[in-house]
Chain A
Amino acid sequence: MKQATRDIRILPGFNWVTLAFFLYLYLPLIILVVFSFNASRSATVWEGFSVDWYFKAFANDDIRRAAANSLIIATVSMVASTCIATMAALALARNRRIRRKPVFSGLIMLPLMMPEIVTAVATLTFFAAIGLSLGLGNIIIAHTVFCIPFAYLPIRARLQGMDESLETAAQDLYAGRWDTLRLITLPLLAPGILSGAMLAFIISIDDFIITLMVAEAGSTTLPIYIYSLVRLGITPEINAVSTVLLIISILFVGLSYRIGKKR
Protein backbone atom coordinates (compact mmCIF):
# COMPACT_ATOMS: atom_id res chain seq x y z
CA MET A 1 0.00 0.00 0.00
CA LYS A 2 2.82 2.33 0.98
CA GLN A 3 4.54 1.42 -2.27
CA ALA A 4 1.49 2.40 -4.31
CA THR A 5 1.10 5.87 -2.82
CA ARG A 6 4.79 6.53 -3.36
CA ASP A 7 4.60 5.63 -7.05
CA ILE A 8 5.36 8.91 -8.77
CA ARG A 9 3.18 8.02 -11.74
CA ILE A 10 -0.04 7.83 -9.77
CA LEU A 11 -2.26 10.84 -9.30
CA PRO A 12 -5.19 10.34 -6.93
CA GLY A 13 -8.61 10.22 -8.53
CA PHE A 14 -7.38 9.79 -12.10
CA ASN A 15 -8.19 6.07 -12.04
CA TRP A 16 -11.80 6.82 -11.06
CA VAL A 17 -12.13 9.40 -13.82
CA THR A 18 -10.85 6.81 -16.29
CA LEU A 19 -13.27 4.17 -15.03
CA ALA A 20 -16.18 6.62 -15.24
CA PHE A 21 -15.02 7.60 -18.71
CA PHE A 22 -15.12 4.05 -20.04
CA LEU A 23 -18.56 3.50 -18.50
CA TYR A 24 -19.74 6.72 -20.18
CA LEU A 25 -18.26 5.49 -23.47
CA TYR A 26 -19.80 2.03 -23.46
CA LEU A 27 -22.99 2.13 -21.35
CA PRO A 28 -25.14 3.89 -23.98
CA LEU A 29 -24.06 1.34 -26.60
CA ILE A 30 -24.81 -1.55 -24.23
CA ILE A 31 -28.23 -0.07 -23.47
CA LEU A 32 -28.97 0.13 -27.19
CA VAL A 33 -28.08 -3.52 -27.72
CA VAL A 34 -29.98 -4.73 -24.62
CA PHE A 35 -33.19 -2.95 -25.58
CA SER A 36 -33.05 -4.32 -29.12
CA PHE A 37 -34.01 -7.63 -27.44
CA ASN A 38 -36.96 -6.12 -25.59
CA ALA A 39 -40.28 -7.91 -25.93
CA SER A 40 -42.45 -4.79 -25.67
CA ARG A 41 -42.89 -1.92 -28.10
CA SER A 42 -41.16 0.41 -25.69
CA ALA A 43 -37.52 1.16 -26.32
CA THR A 44 -36.77 1.97 -22.69
CA VAL A 45 -39.00 -0.21 -20.44
CA TRP A 46 -37.79 -3.81 -20.19
CA GLU A 47 -40.50 -6.47 -20.57
CA GLY A 48 -38.69 -9.69 -21.34
CA PHE A 49 -36.36 -11.15 -23.93
CA SER A 50 -37.29 -11.50 -27.60
CA VAL A 51 -35.62 -11.43 -31.00
CA ASP A 52 -38.83 -10.41 -32.78
CA TRP A 53 -37.52 -6.97 -33.66
CA TYR A 54 -34.66 -8.49 -35.62
CA PHE A 55 -37.08 -10.59 -37.66
CA LYS A 56 -39.32 -7.57 -38.18
CA ALA A 57 -36.34 -5.51 -39.33
CA PHE A 58 -35.10 -8.18 -41.74
CA ALA A 59 -38.59 -8.66 -43.16
CA ASN A 60 -38.94 -4.94 -43.83
CA ASP A 61 -38.47 -4.35 -47.57
CA ASP A 62 -37.34 -0.74 -47.11
CA ILE A 63 -34.62 -1.79 -44.70
CA ARG A 64 -33.45 -4.53 -47.08
CA ARG A 65 -33.29 -2.12 -49.98
CA ALA A 66 -31.43 0.46 -47.88
CA ALA A 67 -29.01 -2.20 -46.65
CA ALA A 68 -28.34 -3.36 -50.23
CA ASN A 69 -27.66 0.24 -51.30
CA SER A 70 -25.32 0.76 -48.35
CA LEU A 71 -23.37 -2.40 -49.19
CA ILE A 72 -23.01 -1.54 -52.89
CA ILE A 73 -21.89 2.02 -52.13
CA ALA A 74 -19.45 0.98 -49.40
CA THR A 75 -17.90 -1.80 -51.51
CA VAL A 76 -17.33 0.32 -54.59
CA SER A 77 -16.09 3.33 -52.58
CA MET A 78 -13.78 1.07 -50.61
CA VAL A 79 -12.17 -0.41 -53.73
CA ALA A 80 -11.85 2.94 -55.51
CA SER A 81 -10.49 4.90 -52.56
CA THR A 82 -8.08 2.14 -51.53
CA CYS A 83 -6.60 1.92 -55.06
CA ILE A 84 -6.18 5.68 -55.24
CA ALA A 85 -4.72 5.86 -51.73
CA THR A 86 -2.29 3.00 -52.34
CA MET A 87 -0.93 4.61 -55.50
CA ALA A 88 -0.55 7.96 -53.78
CA ALA A 89 1.11 6.47 -50.69
CA LEU A 90 3.59 4.49 -52.80
CA ALA A 91 4.44 7.51 -54.93
CA LEU A 92 4.86 9.84 -51.96
CA ALA A 93 6.94 7.39 -49.94
CA ARG A 94 9.14 5.90 -52.65
CA ASN A 95 9.37 8.29 -55.59
CA ARG A 96 12.17 10.76 -55.02
CA ARG A 97 11.44 12.78 -58.12
CA ILE A 98 8.19 14.21 -56.79
CA ARG A 99 8.62 17.73 -55.50
CA ARG A 100 6.47 19.56 -53.00
CA LYS A 101 5.32 16.39 -51.28
CA PRO A 102 3.70 18.26 -48.35
CA VAL A 103 1.32 19.90 -50.84
CA PHE A 104 0.15 16.51 -52.08
CA SER A 105 -0.18 14.95 -48.64
CA GLY A 106 -2.04 18.07 -47.48
CA LEU A 107 -4.41 17.69 -50.42
CA ILE A 108 -5.06 14.05 -49.53
CA MET A 109 -5.84 15.05 -45.91
CA LEU A 110 -8.16 17.89 -46.98
CA PRO A 111 -11.41 15.84 -46.83
CA LEU A 112 -10.52 15.01 -43.22
CA MET A 113 -9.95 18.65 -42.24
CA MET A 114 -13.23 20.08 -43.57
CA PRO A 115 -16.29 19.87 -41.35
CA GLU A 116 -18.49 17.26 -42.99
CA ILE A 117 -21.44 19.58 -43.49
CA VAL A 118 -19.27 21.88 -45.65
CA THR A 119 -18.09 18.96 -47.79
CA ALA A 120 -21.70 17.78 -48.03
CA VAL A 121 -23.22 21.02 -49.32
CA ALA A 122 -20.23 21.73 -51.57
CA THR A 123 -20.58 18.33 -53.22
CA LEU A 124 -24.33 18.75 -53.59
CA THR A 125 -23.85 22.17 -55.20
CA PHE A 126 -21.19 20.83 -57.54
CA PHE A 127 -23.31 17.88 -58.69
CA ALA A 128 -26.26 20.22 -59.29
CA ALA A 129 -24.05 22.69 -61.17
CA ILE A 130 -22.67 20.11 -63.61
CA GLY A 131 -26.01 18.28 -63.77
CA LEU A 132 -24.61 14.96 -62.60
CA SER A 133 -27.38 12.50 -61.77
CA LEU A 134 -26.18 8.93 -61.55
CA GLY A 135 -28.32 7.67 -58.66
CA LEU A 136 -26.04 5.66 -56.40
CA GLY A 137 -23.10 6.87 -58.52
CA ASN A 138 -23.33 10.34 -56.98
CA ILE A 139 -23.06 8.92 -53.46
CA ILE A 140 -20.22 6.60 -54.52
CA ILE A 141 -18.18 9.53 -55.89
CA ALA A 142 -18.74 11.60 -52.74
CA HIS A 143 -17.84 8.67 -50.48
CA THR A 144 -14.72 7.79 -52.47
CA VAL A 145 -13.35 11.30 -51.99
CA PHE A 146 -14.11 11.26 -48.27
CA CYS A 147 -12.66 7.76 -47.77
CA ILE A 148 -9.28 8.46 -49.43
CA PRO A 149 -7.56 9.90 -46.31
CA PHE A 150 -8.90 7.07 -44.12
CA ALA A 151 -7.50 4.44 -46.50
CA TYR A 152 -4.28 6.43 -46.97
CA LEU A 153 -3.23 6.74 -43.31
CA PRO A 154 -2.71 3.03 -42.45
CA ILE A 155 -1.02 2.38 -45.82
CA ARG A 156 1.34 5.30 -45.31
CA ALA A 157 2.11 4.19 -41.75
CA ARG A 158 2.90 0.67 -42.94
CA LEU A 159 5.19 2.02 -45.69
CA GLN A 160 7.08 4.15 -43.20
CA GLY A 161 7.79 1.13 -41.03
CA MET A 162 8.88 -1.03 -43.98
CA ASP A 163 12.51 -1.84 -44.63
CA GLU A 164 13.45 -0.38 -48.00
CA SER A 165 16.53 -2.60 -48.30
CA LEU A 166 14.39 -5.57 -49.40
CA GLU A 167 13.22 -3.61 -52.41
CA THR A 168 16.78 -2.48 -53.13
CA ALA A 169 17.95 -6.09 -52.89
CA ALA A 170 15.31 -7.23 -55.38
CA GLN A 171 16.42 -4.57 -57.83
CA ASP A 172 20.05 -5.55 -57.31
CA LEU A 173 19.04 -9.07 -58.30
CA TYR A 174 17.75 -7.72 -61.63
CA ALA A 175 14.05 -7.57 -60.78
CA GLY A 176 12.38 -4.86 -62.86
CA ARG A 177 10.44 -2.07 -61.20
CA TRP A 178 7.11 -3.81 -61.74
CA ASP A 179 8.38 -7.17 -60.53
CA THR A 180 9.76 -5.55 -57.39
CA LEU A 181 6.40 -3.89 -56.81
CA ARG A 182 4.43 -7.09 -57.48
CA LEU A 183 6.69 -9.56 -55.66
CA ILE A 184 8.15 -7.53 -52.80
CA THR A 185 6.48 -4.21 -52.06
CA LEU A 186 2.80 -5.11 -52.41
CA PRO A 187 2.95 -8.36 -50.39
CA LEU A 188 4.77 -6.52 -47.61
CA LEU A 189 2.31 -3.66 -47.82
CA ALA A 190 -0.78 -5.92 -47.93
CA PRO A 191 -1.69 -5.63 -44.23
CA GLY A 192 -1.65 -1.83 -44.50
CA ILE A 193 -3.78 -1.91 -47.65
CA LEU A 194 -6.29 -4.31 -46.10
CA SER A 195 -6.47 -2.30 -42.91
CA GLY A 196 -7.01 0.91 -44.89
CA ALA A 197 -9.67 -0.74 -47.04
CA MET A 198 -11.63 -1.82 -43.98
CA LEU A 199 -11.54 1.64 -42.46
CA ALA A 200 -12.75 3.08 -45.78
CA PHE A 201 -15.58 0.54 -45.81
CA ILE A 202 -16.82 1.49 -42.33
CA ILE A 203 -16.49 5.21 -43.01
CA SER A 204 -18.65 4.77 -46.10
CA ILE A 205 -21.26 2.47 -44.57
CA ASP A 206 -21.61 4.76 -41.52
CA ASP A 207 -21.65 8.07 -43.35
CA PHE A 208 -24.76 10.14 -42.79
CA ILE A 209 -24.42 13.87 -43.50
CA ILE A 210 -22.80 13.68 -46.93
CA THR A 211 -25.21 10.96 -48.00
CA LEU A 212 -28.20 12.92 -46.67
CA MET A 213 -27.30 15.92 -48.83
CA VAL A 214 -26.13 14.10 -51.96
CA ALA A 215 -28.64 11.22 -52.14
CA GLU A 216 -31.37 11.47 -54.73
CA ALA A 217 -34.85 10.07 -54.20
CA GLY A 218 -34.68 6.28 -54.23
CA SER A 219 -31.05 5.95 -53.18
CA THR A 220 -31.65 5.67 -49.45
CA THR A 221 -28.87 4.12 -47.36
CA LEU A 222 -29.20 2.44 -43.98
CA PRO A 223 -28.16 5.45 -41.85
CA ILE A 224 -30.57 7.70 -43.78
CA TYR A 225 -33.37 5.20 -43.23
CA ILE A 226 -32.57 4.94 -39.52
CA TYR A 227 -32.64 8.74 -39.28
CA SER A 228 -36.09 8.89 -40.87
CA LEU A 229 -37.30 6.24 -38.38
CA VAL A 230 -35.86 8.12 -35.40
CA ARG A 231 -37.71 11.26 -36.47
CA LEU A 232 -40.99 9.29 -36.46
CA GLY A 233 -40.52 7.83 -33.00
CA ILE A 234 -38.36 5.52 -30.96
CA THR A 235 -38.98 1.79 -31.44
CA PRO A 236 -36.95 -1.33 -30.62
CA GLU A 237 -36.82 -1.97 -34.39
CA ILE A 238 -34.39 0.97 -34.71
CA ASN A 239 -32.33 -0.58 -31.92
CA ALA A 240 -32.22 -3.87 -33.82
CA VAL A 241 -31.05 -2.33 -37.11
CA SER A 242 -28.58 -0.11 -35.25
CA THR A 243 -27.18 -3.09 -33.37
CA VAL A 244 -26.50 -4.88 -36.65
CA LEU A 245 -24.68 -1.83 -38.05
CA LEU A 246 -22.78 -1.46 -34.78
CA ILE A 247 -21.59 -5.07 -34.91
CA ILE A 248 -20.44 -4.68 -38.54
CA SER A 249 -18.37 -1.62 -37.56
CA ILE A 250 -16.82 -3.22 -34.48
CA LEU A 251 -16.00 -6.38 -36.43
CA PHE A 252 -14.26 -4.41 -39.17
CA VAL A 253 -12.28 -2.16 -36.79
CA GLY A 254 -11.18 -5.19 -34.79
CA LEU A 255 -10.05 -6.95 -37.98
CA SER A 256 -8.37 -3.83 -39.32
CA TYR A 257 -6.48 -3.46 -36.04
CA ARG A 258 -5.40 -7.13 -35.99
CA ILE A 259 -4.25 -7.09 -39.61
CA GLY A 260 -2.53 -3.73 -39.29
CA LYS A 261 -0.46 -4.99 -36.35
CA LYS A 262 0.83 -8.06 -38.20
CA ARG A 263 4.53 -7.99 -38.91
Chain B
Amino acid sequence: MTAVLDRLKAYAGVAPATLVIGVFMIAPLMIIFAYSFLEPNPYGGVRPAFSTGAYTKLFYERDLFDEMVFNATYLKITFRSLWIAAASVAACLLIGFPVAYYIAMQPPERRNLLILLITIPFWTNLLIRTYCWILVLRDTGLINNALISAGLIDRPFTMLYTEGAIVLGLIYTYIPFMVLPIYASLERLDLRLIEASRDLYATKWGTLRQIVLPLAAPGIIAGSILVFIPGLGAFIAPELLGGGKNLMLGSLVQLQFSSARNWPFGSALAVVIMAVVMLTLMLYARNARRNGGGLQH
Protein backbone atom coordinates (compact mmCIF):
# COMPACT_ATOMS: atom_id res chain seq x y z
CA MET B 1 0.00 0.00 0.00
CA THR B 2 2.70 2.49 1.00
CA ALA B 3 4.67 1.41 -2.04
CA VAL B 4 1.79 2.39 -4.32
CA LEU B 5 1.34 5.67 -2.45
CA ASP B 6 5.05 6.36 -2.75
CA ARG B 7 4.96 5.66 -6.45
CA LEU B 8 2.05 8.07 -6.85
CA LYS B 9 3.85 10.75 -4.84
CA ALA B 10 6.72 10.60 -7.32
CA TYR B 11 4.31 11.81 -9.99
CA ALA B 12 2.99 14.75 -7.92
CA GLY B 13 5.29 17.17 -9.76
CA VAL B 14 4.11 16.31 -13.25
CA ALA B 15 0.49 15.88 -12.18
CA PRO B 16 -0.65 19.52 -12.62
CA ALA B 17 0.86 19.80 -16.11
CA THR B 18 -0.57 16.42 -17.14
CA LEU B 19 -3.97 17.30 -15.73
CA VAL B 20 -4.20 20.77 -17.27
CA ILE B 21 -2.97 19.70 -20.71
CA GLY B 22 -4.96 16.45 -20.53
CA VAL B 23 -8.24 18.18 -19.68
CA PHE B 24 -7.90 21.37 -21.70
CA MET B 25 -5.94 20.10 -24.71
CA ILE B 26 -6.25 16.32 -25.21
CA ALA B 27 -9.95 16.18 -24.27
CA PRO B 28 -10.84 19.10 -26.61
CA LEU B 29 -8.95 17.43 -29.46
CA MET B 30 -10.88 14.22 -28.82
CA ILE B 31 -14.14 16.15 -28.75
CA ILE B 32 -13.56 17.75 -32.14
CA PHE B 33 -12.65 14.33 -33.49
CA ALA B 34 -16.01 13.05 -32.20
CA TYR B 35 -17.88 16.14 -33.46
CA SER B 36 -16.50 15.63 -36.96
CA PHE B 37 -18.72 12.50 -37.12
CA LEU B 38 -21.93 14.22 -36.01
CA GLU B 39 -24.60 16.26 -37.79
CA PRO B 40 -24.51 20.06 -37.66
CA ASN B 41 -27.05 22.04 -35.73
CA PRO B 42 -28.04 25.07 -37.84
CA TYR B 43 -27.90 27.29 -34.73
CA GLY B 44 -24.32 26.28 -33.92
CA GLY B 45 -23.10 23.16 -32.17
CA VAL B 46 -24.05 19.63 -33.16
CA ARG B 47 -26.98 17.20 -33.21
CA PRO B 48 -26.22 13.81 -31.65
CA ALA B 49 -26.61 11.75 -34.82
CA PHE B 50 -23.79 9.85 -36.51
CA SER B 51 -22.84 11.14 -39.93
CA THR B 52 -19.83 11.14 -42.21
CA GLY B 53 -21.32 14.17 -43.97
CA ALA B 54 -18.59 16.46 -42.72
CA TYR B 55 -15.94 14.44 -44.54
CA THR B 56 -17.90 13.86 -47.75
CA LYS B 57 -18.55 17.63 -47.84
CA LEU B 58 -14.85 17.96 -48.59
CA PHE B 59 -15.42 16.34 -51.98
CA TYR B 60 -19.13 16.34 -52.76
CA GLU B 61 -22.18 18.56 -52.50
CA ARG B 62 -25.89 17.92 -52.99
CA ASP B 63 -27.28 19.41 -56.17
CA LEU B 64 -30.85 20.54 -56.87
CA PHE B 65 -31.98 16.95 -57.40
CA ASP B 66 -30.49 15.88 -54.08
CA GLU B 67 -27.76 13.91 -55.78
CA MET B 68 -24.13 13.94 -54.74
CA VAL B 69 -21.94 15.73 -57.24
CA PHE B 70 -18.24 16.36 -57.09
CA ASN B 71 -17.32 19.76 -55.67
CA ALA B 72 -13.77 21.01 -55.97
CA THR B 73 -14.13 24.17 -53.83
CA TYR B 74 -12.73 22.74 -50.61
CA LEU B 75 -10.13 20.61 -52.35
CA LYS B 76 -8.91 23.78 -54.07
CA ILE B 77 -8.61 25.52 -50.71
CA THR B 78 -6.74 22.52 -49.29
CA PHE B 79 -4.32 22.47 -52.21
CA ARG B 80 -3.88 26.23 -52.06
CA SER B 81 -2.96 25.90 -48.37
CA LEU B 82 -0.50 23.10 -49.08
CA TRP B 83 0.98 25.06 -51.99
CA ILE B 84 1.32 28.31 -50.05
CA ALA B 85 2.85 26.52 -47.06
CA ALA B 86 5.29 24.68 -49.34
CA ALA B 87 6.21 27.88 -51.22
CA SER B 88 6.92 29.59 -47.89
CA VAL B 89 9.16 26.69 -46.86
CA ALA B 90 11.11 26.90 -50.13
CA ALA B 91 11.53 30.68 -49.88
CA CYS B 92 12.50 30.51 -46.19
CA LEU B 93 15.13 27.90 -47.05
CA LEU B 94 16.52 29.95 -49.93
CA ILE B 95 16.89 33.05 -47.75
CA GLY B 96 17.46 31.31 -44.43
CA PHE B 97 20.36 29.06 -45.39
CA PRO B 98 22.80 31.80 -46.46
CA VAL B 99 21.84 33.83 -43.39
CA ALA B 100 22.36 30.88 -41.02
CA TYR B 101 25.67 30.05 -42.70
CA TYR B 102 26.89 33.63 -42.53
CA ILE B 103 25.98 33.93 -38.84
CA ALA B 104 27.57 30.57 -37.97
CA MET B 105 30.87 31.73 -39.47
CA GLN B 106 31.01 34.90 -37.35
CA PRO B 107 32.98 35.26 -34.10
CA PRO B 108 30.94 33.96 -31.11
CA GLU B 109 29.92 37.35 -29.63
CA ARG B 110 28.68 38.64 -32.95
CA ARG B 111 26.82 35.36 -33.47
CA ASN B 112 24.86 35.73 -30.24
CA LEU B 113 23.90 39.30 -31.07
CA LEU B 114 22.68 38.37 -34.56
CA ILE B 115 20.70 35.41 -33.20
CA LEU B 116 19.07 37.68 -30.63
CA LEU B 117 18.17 40.10 -33.44
CA ILE B 118 16.46 37.24 -35.27
CA THR B 119 14.50 36.09 -32.23
CA ILE B 120 13.20 39.52 -31.18
CA PRO B 121 10.66 39.93 -34.02
CA PHE B 122 9.50 36.36 -33.37
CA TRP B 123 8.39 37.36 -29.87
CA THR B 124 6.51 40.44 -31.04
CA ASN B 125 2.86 40.39 -31.91
CA LEU B 126 2.05 38.32 -35.00
CA LEU B 127 -0.95 40.47 -35.86
CA ILE B 128 1.09 43.67 -35.70
CA ARG B 129 3.92 42.22 -37.76
CA THR B 130 1.43 41.25 -40.45
CA TYR B 131 -0.31 44.63 -40.23
CA CYS B 132 3.04 46.32 -41.00
CA TRP B 133 2.97 44.72 -44.43
CA ILE B 134 -0.40 46.29 -45.22
CA LEU B 135 1.29 49.67 -44.76
CA VAL B 136 4.03 48.64 -47.16
CA LEU B 137 2.06 46.77 -49.81
CA ARG B 138 -1.31 48.47 -50.23
CA ASP B 139 -2.23 50.59 -53.25
CA THR B 140 -1.52 53.80 -51.35
CA GLY B 141 1.29 52.09 -49.43
CA LEU B 142 4.96 52.91 -49.26
CA ILE B 143 6.16 50.87 -52.24
CA ASN B 144 3.49 52.18 -54.59
CA ASN B 145 3.90 55.76 -53.34
CA ALA B 146 7.63 55.54 -53.85
CA LEU B 147 7.33 54.02 -57.33
CA ILE B 148 4.74 56.58 -58.41
CA SER B 149 6.66 59.59 -57.12
CA ALA B 150 9.79 58.23 -58.81
CA GLY B 151 7.78 58.18 -62.03
CA LEU B 152 8.36 54.49 -62.64
CA ILE B 153 4.66 53.62 -62.74
CA ASP B 154 1.59 55.83 -63.03
CA ARG B 155 -1.03 53.52 -61.57
CA PRO B 156 -0.62 51.60 -58.31
CA PHE B 157 0.65 48.10 -58.76
CA THR B 158 -1.62 45.67 -56.89
CA MET B 159 0.38 43.72 -54.34
CA LEU B 160 -1.96 43.44 -51.39
CA TYR B 161 -4.68 40.76 -51.44
CA THR B 162 -2.72 38.35 -53.62
CA GLU B 163 -1.29 34.91 -52.93
CA GLY B 164 2.18 36.45 -53.22
CA ALA B 165 1.36 38.81 -50.35
CA ILE B 166 0.29 35.84 -48.19
CA VAL B 167 3.56 34.01 -48.92
CA LEU B 168 5.52 37.17 -48.14
CA GLY B 169 3.70 37.49 -44.81
CA LEU B 170 4.31 33.84 -43.95
CA ILE B 171 8.02 34.08 -44.78
CA TYR B 172 8.24 37.19 -42.64
CA THR B 173 6.54 35.47 -39.72
CA TYR B 174 8.18 32.07 -39.77
CA ILE B 175 11.69 32.56 -41.17
CA PRO B 176 13.29 32.52 -37.67
CA PHE B 177 12.06 28.91 -37.41
CA MET B 178 14.18 28.11 -40.48
CA VAL B 179 17.30 30.09 -39.60
CA LEU B 180 17.63 28.88 -36.00
CA PRO B 181 17.75 25.08 -36.56
CA ILE B 182 20.06 25.45 -39.59
CA TYR B 183 22.29 27.73 -37.55
CA ALA B 184 22.31 25.15 -34.73
CA SER B 185 23.55 22.42 -37.08
CA LEU B 186 26.12 24.68 -38.80
CA GLU B 187 27.47 26.10 -35.54
CA ARG B 188 28.91 22.69 -34.66
CA LEU B 189 30.37 22.23 -38.13
CA ASP B 190 34.02 21.15 -38.04
CA LEU B 191 35.85 23.73 -40.17
CA ARG B 192 38.62 21.23 -40.88
CA LEU B 193 36.18 19.39 -43.14
CA ILE B 194 35.84 22.48 -45.32
CA GLU B 195 39.61 22.94 -45.26
CA ALA B 196 40.18 19.34 -46.31
CA SER B 197 37.67 19.61 -49.11
CA ARG B 198 39.32 22.82 -50.40
CA ASP B 199 42.75 21.25 -50.15
CA LEU B 200 41.50 18.46 -52.36
CA TYR B 201 40.66 21.05 -55.03
CA ALA B 202 36.91 21.27 -54.49
CA THR B 203 35.53 24.71 -55.35
CA LYS B 204 33.69 26.85 -52.80
CA TRP B 205 30.33 25.86 -54.21
CA GLY B 206 31.34 22.22 -54.57
CA THR B 207 32.30 22.18 -50.91
CA LEU B 208 29.01 23.82 -50.00
CA ARG B 209 27.04 21.24 -51.94
CA GLN B 210 28.96 18.13 -50.99
CA ILE B 211 30.15 18.86 -47.45
CA VAL B 212 28.16 21.66 -45.81
CA LEU B 213 24.66 20.93 -47.12
CA PRO B 214 24.64 17.23 -46.09
CA LEU B 215 25.88 18.18 -42.62
CA ALA B 216 23.21 20.87 -42.33
CA ALA B 217 20.47 18.48 -43.46
CA PRO B 218 19.01 17.78 -39.98
CA GLY B 219 18.64 21.53 -39.41
CA ILE B 220 17.14 22.06 -42.86
CA ILE B 221 14.58 19.30 -42.30
CA ALA B 222 13.68 20.54 -38.81
CA GLY B 223 13.37 24.10 -40.09
CA SER B 224 11.18 23.06 -43.01
CA ILE B 225 8.78 21.27 -40.66
CA LEU B 226 8.68 24.19 -38.24
CA VAL B 227 7.77 26.56 -41.10
CA PHE B 228 5.35 24.17 -42.83
CA ILE B 229 3.15 23.33 -39.82
CA PRO B 230 2.13 26.85 -38.81
CA GLY B 231 1.97 27.90 -42.47
CA LEU B 232 -0.64 25.23 -43.17
CA GLY B 233 -2.98 26.45 -40.43
CA ALA B 234 -2.16 30.14 -40.91
CA PHE B 235 -5.01 32.51 -40.23
CA ILE B 236 -3.77 36.07 -39.83
CA ALA B 237 -1.71 36.36 -43.02
CA PRO B 238 -4.45 35.03 -45.35
CA GLU B 239 -7.06 37.20 -43.61
CA LEU B 240 -5.12 40.47 -43.63
CA LEU B 241 -2.85 40.09 -46.68
CA GLY B 242 -5.04 37.76 -48.74
CA GLY B 243 -8.08 39.92 -48.03
CA GLY B 244 -10.18 36.87 -47.23
CA LYS B 245 -10.64 36.08 -50.92
CA ASN B 246 -7.66 33.73 -51.21
CA LEU B 247 -9.14 31.45 -48.57
CA MET B 248 -6.83 29.01 -46.76
CA LEU B 249 -7.62 26.12 -44.42
CA GLY B 250 -7.16 28.20 -41.26
CA SER B 251 -9.75 30.79 -42.30
CA LEU B 252 -12.08 28.06 -43.57
CA VAL B 253 -11.99 26.36 -40.15
CA GLN B 254 -12.59 29.63 -38.33
CA LEU B 255 -15.50 30.40 -40.66
CA GLN B 256 -17.25 27.12 -39.80
CA PHE B 257 -17.22 27.98 -36.12
CA SER B 258 -18.38 31.57 -36.62
CA SER B 259 -20.65 32.69 -39.45
CA ALA B 260 -21.08 29.40 -41.33
CA ARG B 261 -22.13 27.56 -38.14
CA ASN B 262 -21.12 24.13 -39.33
CA TRP B 263 -19.18 22.75 -36.39
CA PRO B 264 -18.84 19.16 -37.70
CA PHE B 265 -17.35 20.41 -40.98
CA GLY B 266 -15.01 22.75 -39.09
CA SER B 267 -14.01 19.87 -36.82
CA ALA B 268 -13.40 17.60 -39.82
CA LEU B 269 -11.12 20.25 -41.36
CA ALA B 270 -9.25 20.60 -38.07
CA VAL B 271 -8.85 16.81 -37.97
CA VAL B 272 -7.44 16.89 -41.52
CA ILE B 273 -4.91 19.58 -40.51
CA MET B 274 -4.03 17.58 -37.39
CA ALA B 275 -3.54 14.42 -39.49
CA VAL B 276 -1.15 16.20 -41.86
CA VAL B 277 0.80 17.58 -38.88
CA MET B 278 0.99 14.17 -37.17
CA LEU B 279 2.10 12.51 -40.40
CA THR B 280 4.85 15.11 -40.92
CA LEU B 281 6.07 14.74 -37.34
CA MET B 282 5.99 10.93 -37.52
CA LEU B 283 7.98 10.87 -40.76
CA TYR B 284 10.42 13.27 -39.17
CA ALA B 285 10.76 11.21 -35.98
CA ARG B 286 11.37 8.04 -37.98
CA ASN B 287 13.95 9.80 -40.09
CA ALA B 288 15.63 11.34 -37.04
CA ARG B 289 15.84 8.00 -35.28
CA ARG B 290 17.51 6.48 -38.30
CA ASN B 291 20.02 9.32 -38.52
CA GLY B 292 20.44 9.77 -34.78
CA GLY B 293 19.36 13.43 -34.81
CA GLY B 294 16.61 15.22 -33.00
CA LEU B 295 14.38 18.29 -33.13
CA GLN B 296 16.60 20.37 -30.96
CA HIS B 297 18.08 23.80 -31.37
Q: How many residues of B contact A (CB 8 A)?
A: 82
Q: A32-B132, A115-B277 in contact; A125/B267 too (CB < 8 A)?
A: yes
A232 to B17, CA, bound (A): 40
A73 contacts B by Cβ under 8 Å: no
Q: What 1/0 flags go to A19-46 for Cβ under 8 Å of B? A: 0011011101101100100000011110
Whether the Cβ atoms of A121 and B99 lie closer than 8 Å is no
Within 8 A of B (CB), among A85-116: 85, 87-88, 90-92, 95, 97-98, 104, 107-108, 110-111, 113-116
Q: A17-B95, A208-B127, A230-B240 in contact; A8/B18 too (CB < 8 A)?
A: no
Q: Is the interface of A mostly helix, strand, loop or mixed?
A: helix
Q: How many residues of A contact B (CB 8 A)?
A: 85
Within 8 A of B (CB), among A206-241: 206, 208-209, 212-213, 223, 226-227, 230, 234, 238-239
Whether the Cβ atoms of A122 and B270 lie closer than 8 Å is yes
A28 to B27, CA, bound (A): 40
A2 contacts B by Cβ under 8 Å: no
Q: A11-B204, A111-B25, A125-B31 in contact; A117/B254 too (CB < 8 A)?
A: yes
A74 contacts B by Cβ under 8 Å: no
Residues on A with beta carbons closer than 8 Å to the beta carbon of B232 = 115
Q: How far is the CB of A227 from chain B (nearest CB, A)?
A: 6
A195 to B30, CA, bound (A): 33
Residues on B with beta carbons closer than 8 Å to the beta carbon of A257 = 116
A8 to B249, CA, bound (A): 45
Whether the Cβ atoms of A98 and B10 lie closer than 8 Å is yes
Residues in chain B within 8 A of chain A (CB atoms): 7, 10-14, 16-18, 20-22, 24-29, 31-32, 35, 45, 95, 98-99, 101-103, 105, 116-121, 123-129, 131-136, 138, 140-142, 145, 172, 175, 191, 194-195, 198, 204-205, 208, 229-230, 232-233, 235-236, 240, 249-250, 253-254, 257, 263, 266-267, 270, 273-274, 277, 281
Q: A107-B21, A142-B24, A209-B236 in contact; A44/B140 too (CB < 8 A)?
A: yes
A169 contacts B by Cβ under 8 Å: no
A123 to B31, CA, bound (A): 9
Can you list 12 A-B pairs with a CB-CB distance of less than 8 A?
A8-B191, A8-B198, A87-B16, A108-B21, A118-B253, A125-B32, A126-B24, A126-B28, A129-B31, A223-B125, A242-B131, A250-B124
Residues on A with beta carbons closer than 8 Å to the beta carbon of B240 = 230
Which residue from B18, B25, B103, B129 sits with its C-beta under 8 Å from A28? B129
Q: How far is the CB of B288 from chain A (nearest CB, A)?
A: 13
A10 contacts B by Cβ under 8 Å: yes
Q: Which residue of B lies closest to A247 (CB)?
A: B124
Whether the Cβ atoms of A223 and B99 lie closer than 8 Å is no
Q: How far is the CB of A234 from chain B (nearest CB, A)?
A: 6
Whether the Cβ atoms of A8 and B195 lie closer than 8 Å is yes
Whether the Cβ atoms of B230 and A15 lie closer than 8 Å is no
A247 to B101, CA, bound (A): 30
Q: How far is the CB of A137 from chain B (nearest CB, A)?
A: 12
Whether the Cβ atoms of B13 and A208 lie closer than 8 Å is no
Residues on B with beta carbons closer than 8 Å to the beta carbon of A32 = 128, 131-132, 135
